[in-house]
Amino acid sequence: MVERSDIRVVRCGGSKVNLRPPIISTDSRFVLCASGDLVKVYSTRTEEWLHSLQGHTNQVTGIALNPANHLQVYSCSADGTVKLWDFIDGILIKTFIIGYPLFAIYVSEKHEGVLFLHVSMATDSKNECFQLVAVHPPKSAEQEVEAKEMSVVSSHISSNPSCTAFGRGGEYIAFARRLQLNVYFFRKQKTCSFSLKATDKKGAKNAFTCIACHPTDDCIATGHEDGKIRLWRNFIHKKEYTYSTQHWHHNAVNTLCFTPEGTHLLSGGIESVLVQWQYGAGNRKEFLPRLGGSILHISASSDGQLFCTSHSDNKITVIESSFKVCGVIQGLVKGDAVLTDLMIDPRSIALVLNGKPGHLQFYSLLRDKHLYNLDIVQQEYIYEAGLDQFEVVKAAFDIKGSWLATVEERGQKSSDLEFFLKLWAFDERTQSFVLNTTITAAHTDRIISMCFSSSEETTMLVTTAEDGQFKAWCQGADADTQQDQNFWSCDFVGSYHNLKPTNCSFSADSSLLAVSFQEVITIWSPETWEMLTTLCQPPGVIRDLCFGRLSCSKYLLGTTTRNLLCCWNLLTCALEWSSSVEVSKLQPDPLSENVAAFSYQSKHTDLFVFKPSEPRPLFTNKNVCSEKVHRAVFVPREEPLNNCDESSQWLNRSQLYFLTQNMDLLTFSTATEEDRMLSSSKQLVIDDSVAVTPFYLLLGKHRQQQQKLNTQSHPAADKPQQPQGSVTIKELLHTPAHVLPAASVLCSMFVNSLLISNTGVQQDPLREEMDSEKEEEDSEEEMEACDSQQELRVQGSVDEVTLKLSKAQERELKRVRKTDFSWMAGLIDSKP
């Protein structure tokens, strides 16, 4: 993907966290999930992303805790490797090279040292054939080991990894494929298979969708396409097997999971209801409804206290065993399609696009974090396949971010089309958008595009629709309702020869409105609603339309469906230049004259950045990605970069994000930016393994303040000090409790450090720091001396004691003097 030396295409917004079931660590403190080519580690209590395990070069397709060591995790990837990690510290321990793309990994306590892998043995891509193989990773000290020793367990298994499960204590493995359930007994080395009929008279669909085995009992639970759950028993004897059926889900059961004690069975499907069946009690069940998207996976922690469900809307929910949701880990929601444009909320500089069904999501690009969902439709979402529901199809912000306009739509057929235009006002008090006006019949047909005027004083919304009209909406212009509240009402209705409008755009100062009707562009004055002129360039229907900015504000750009990019001069009303490019998306930068054009040609997308004043591109990037790009947005930077390089200058003030058809959010990053990020990541030494406690936060705050102080007062002393400060605090937190001074001592010190000291004391730490700098190297071994030293301090009569010191004691004292106090300095220094 890398074309130029200094500008790279970077993936952002995270990948799916719901591809494979998340796992909870044995101590229930962490949740691990596969996300793209990473394994992400989250805290269960704070839902924060702690760190990620980087190393795979392709999609991670499975993770499993090492049964031999509960602090290690196996991960397998489509790049053909299995890696063993220490997930607390994020260290890669070993890499086993298998050589085939892997799709899932299973481990069992009974089969220690054996990995069961899901391998694709496809010779060609058409008839994929999955095999379950057992791999014995060779024991060697090297980091990278080739594990070629494989034995096939079964060669006909389903591509769905949730159709395979280990039975009681790992004695057998059950796997289902379409209508057949196979159980392989390790001791007997024998496979029993049971099959069901495809359908019966009542129209049941019996294909297996998932499987789970009871941890202590000989029982296999299987989920089926029609929502039935079957519990199989007595399958050891092939002839005398029995099964019981339970039915609650109305659609396919996506996942099944037994709790570790085996008292309950959890199931989930498209309904987004977590169902807890009591094992052995027939039909007694509990529900946890409305969890979000449909449930894809469920996993339980080894002590049974926590459950994790992963949902289709890229979300992991952490649920307590008392059926209470205690945490939500939300990634960037990428549905099947993003219908709205990519937008930027001008207030929070958050990326806004379709989120959960019927919602708009606000995603902070700076922190790479999901902020919140704004409920647009405000209706109960029914999780049912094939149901036609309201979806947000258009949205637009005004220039200040105080108004949001949305269009929600339902009905694929135009005969039963329903849509609403809604206007939302930003409420300062609640810091969110509040519904102001709902317009039920804004147009008689589907709304195609809409935009706000770009002037600061008056806000105006223009919508164009398939009924051949465009309408201008203004706030509070309605004379009929003599009320103080400012509702929106229609100000003007315009049309042009009954042609269907395609797009609309306001000029930078809102003095002109351009509305394109098929091949014709009409220019209107929003003040008087007079049509000023028409521009026409016959071949092809106008697709995109945008005005130039700043010095290029006299130009109007348009793209047509017939591979033409045109630029008109609005002063002469004549075509300035045109070029034959197939442009799928035209995106102007709000902060500069630049315009980005994505062009899709011969199965890859190229990017051109140009100024409307000249037809020569400033920057070209061939083969940005292989899919079509329909959505793009310029995001203003917090602080402008100062790139001198001509080709990357256009990225100085804002950053270009774009969304491909595969729902990948990509961006361009420059070399200088990456340098800056790298240096900042070096500076910020975050101890991820430490759980976030109030104490930790307090220390962290102090450390930050200290850093600030340092940069202000001693710019020269900045660099050596910083790592030290963090090291010392780390020592304070990491020193085993038995070598730390008594808590009472620490407490008084800690409290002292919070008090505002006089200047005399403030010089002390500086001196101490100087000492510590010199004696840094031997600080470690002398940590133990710390406690004795503390005791002396507390007694406060050091001089008297030293009079009667033995030699040994004297030596001790010398060591004490050399002790590293810098961590204390860190505490004291942070007082202001």
Binding footprint of another protein on the chain (CB under 8 A): 288-292, 325, 375, 378-380, 382, 384, 387-390, 410, 438, 440, 480-482, 530-533, 570-573
Shortest approach of another protein to residue 440 CB, angstroms?
7
Q: Residue 248 CB, nearest distance to another protein (Å)?
A: 13
Smallest gap from Cβ 560 to another protein, in A, equals 23
CA distances to 4, 513, 587, 669 from 641, rounded to whole Å, are: 18, 33, 21, 11
For residue 418, the minimal CB distance to another protein (Å) is 9
Kindly tell me which of 287 and 695 has the beta carbon lying closer to another protein. Answer: 287
Which residues, in sequence order, are bridge partners of residue 392? 408
Query: In this complex, which beta carbon is closest to another protein, that of residue 265 or of residue 377?
Result: 377
Which CB sits closer to another protein, 317 or 830? 317
Three-state SS for 219? strand
Which residue's CB is nearer to another protein, number 37 or number 271? Answer: 271
The type of residue at 748 is S
CB 9 within 8 A of CB 657: no
Cβ neighbours around 124 below 10 Å, total: 6
Q: How far is the CB of 324 from another protein (least distance, A)?
A: 8
Q: Which is nearer to another protein, 289 or 539 (CB)?
A: 289
Shortest CB 13 distance to another protein, Å: 23
Q: What are phi and psi of 696, to 5 degrees?
A: -60, -45
Nearest distance in Å: CB 593, another protein: 20
Exposure on the CB side of residue 432, measured as CA atoms within 13 A: 12
Amino acid, res. 446:
R
425-441 core/surface letters (b: 16 or more CB in 10 A; e: else): bbeeeeeebeebbebee
Of the candidates 626, 618, 568, the one whose C-alpha atom is nearest the C-alpha of residue 600 is 626
- Give the separation between CA 356 and CA 377, rounded to whole angstroms: 11
- Residue 422 or 611 with smaller CB distance to another protein: 422
Least distance CB 293 / another protein (angstroms): 12
Contact call for residues 323 and 300 (beta carbons, < 8 A): no
- Is the CB of 484 or the CB of 646 nearer to another protein? 484
Quick one: which H or E segment has residue 734?
A: helix 718-734
Phi-psi region of 349 (alpha: psi -120 to 50; beta: other; left: phi over 0): left
Which H or E run includes 63?
A: strand 60-65
By beta-carbon proximity to another protein, the closer residue of 293 and 612 is 293
**Vertex 113: Cα angle to 110 and 117 (nearest 5):** 90
3-class DSSP assignment, residue 1: coil
Q: What is the dihedral of CA 366, 372, 376, 380, to 10 degrees?
A: 150
CB of 287 to another protein, least distance (A): 11
Q: How far is the CB of 414 from another protein (least distance, A)?
A: 14
Alpha helices in 397-439 (DSSP H): none
Residue closer to another protein (CB basis): 425 or 690: 425
d(CA 94, CA 363): 36
In the complex, least distance from residue 111 CB atom to another protein, rounded to whole angstroms? 38
CB of 409 to another protein, least distance (A): 13
User: Which residue, 483 or 797, has its beta carbon nearer to another protein?
Assistant: 483
Nearer to another protein, 290 or 814 (CB): 290
**Residue 161 CB neighbours (<10 A):** 22
> In this structure, which amino acid lies at residue 814?
K
Q: Pick the closer one to another protein by CB: 44 or 75.
A: 44
Polymer length of the chain: 832
Specify the amino acid at residue 467: D
329, β-bridge pairs: 316
Q: Minimal CA–CA distance to 235: which of 285, 160, 180?
A: 180
